[in-house]
Amino acid sequence: MGWLTFAACAYAAVRLLGGHSALGWVAAIVAVLNLWSFGVMANYRNERPSVDSAIQRTWITVNLLTSIAGVVLLIVSFAIKSR
């Protein structure tokens, strides 16, 4: 699931960087944060099973919020490009 949301974020960034640079940069930052938080969560899962759950919840929250933002930006990119 993590790669799918990253792909949506990255595709939104590519679509928006073509004509709407401010939204494109926001989408690019969201894509980087999404991939980063996904990687951190994978590292905690594989290497440190006894890590404090507050740290894990923080990265889960970051990943969830960037996933939602990425999908919203993807929808916005289709709405803008369809005009």
Residue ranges per domain, the chain? 2-81
Q: What does the pLDDT average to over 28-43?
A: 90
Q: Which residue has the tokens 């590519």?
A: 14
Residues 6+ apart with CB under 8 A from 15: 74, 77, 78, 81
Question: Band of the pLDDT at 76, cuts 50, 70, 90?
Answer: very high
| Cα R_g (the chain), whole angstroms | 14
pLDDT value of position 74: 94
pLDDT value of position 46: 65
Of the two residues 21 and 25, the one the predictor is more confident about is 25
Nearest-CA neighbor of 17 among 7, 5, 29?
Answer: 29
